[in-house]
Amino acid sequence: MAAPQAIVVGCSAGGLAALELLFSALLPNLQQAIVVCSHTGSSTVELMCELLAQHATLPVVEASERAPLERGVIHVAPSGYHLLVEANRRFALSVDERVSYARPSIDVLFDSAAEAYRDALIGVVLTGANSDGAEGLARIRRNGGLAIVQDPADAEAAAMPTAALDIAGADYCVPLAAIAPLLNRLCLP
């Protein structure tokens, strides 16, 4: 694996609390672009961004169409659209069919980011109630990136991390509280 340049994070049920904890413990001088795809029932992620910003050590913004991924910034996928990363490392949106009943789909984000960042990408799968993200995480690993999965025993909803382990496997399978220290170590060697 090359020096990581981006981190993509996927979660659904129980995701907000998990993200709050994760982002509260990241070092504020991380140089990676961070992108979050969370299944949310609400029509916008405005509130979610606000809540995360209260805990996060890094700035939190809604990912904006065509905008470049910014280092040291947490980008949240907008509600109702798939979020993709282009090879030129800018965001793109789509309203294509739902994938695994979800839009945004974690697989769609992970697949495209895996192509754009290849072995400079870290994929993280947290708590969640379905199997979205598992195929995408497998793609990240095939492209030389690194996979971190929350220990299902530690997750509020175990289905998503379990599916990720089954389909993609992981380089690290650790409890939530250990993920931020791990990312800090991997990203700021």
189 binds another protein (CB under 8 A): no
CA dist 160 and 72 (Å) reads: 26
- Quick one: which of 24, 66, 71, 166 contacts another protein (CB under 8 A)? 66
Which residue type is seen at 44? T
State which residue, 81 or 172, has the beta carbon closest to another protein.
81
Could you say which residues in the range 122-151 bind another protein, by CB under 8 A?
142-143
CA dist 61 and 35 (Å) reads: 10
Contact, 114 vs 139, CB < 8 A?
yes
108 binds another protein (CB under 8 A): yes
Q: Is 12 a catalytic residue?
A: yes
**DSSP class of 15:** H
Query: How many C-beta atoms surround the C-beta of residue 135 within 10 A?
Result: 21
Range in contact with another protein (rule: CB under 8 A) among 15-23, 111-119, 149-157, 169-177: 111-119
- Quick one: which of 96, 175, 177, 181 contacts another protein (CB under 8 A)? 96
- In whole angstroms, how close is the CB of 59 to another protein at the nearest point? 18
85 binds another protein (CB under 8 A): yes
Range in contact with another protein (rule: CB under 8 A) among 94-102, 145-153, 166-174, 177-185: 94-102
Q: Is 39 a catalytic residue?
A: yes
- In whole angstroms, how close is the CB of 30 to another protein at the nearest point? 25
Question: Closest by alpha carbon to 10, among 76, 65, 69, 73?
Answer: 76
Contact, 84 vs 50, CB < 8 A?
no
> Can you name the residues that pair with 10 across neighbouring β-strands?
37, 125
To 10 degrees, what angle do helices 46-55 and 15-24 make? 40
Write out the catalytic residue numbers: 12, 39, 132
Q: Which residues bind another protein (CB under 8 A)?
A: 64-67, 78, 81-82, 84-87, 92-97, 108, 111-112, 114-116, 118, 142-143
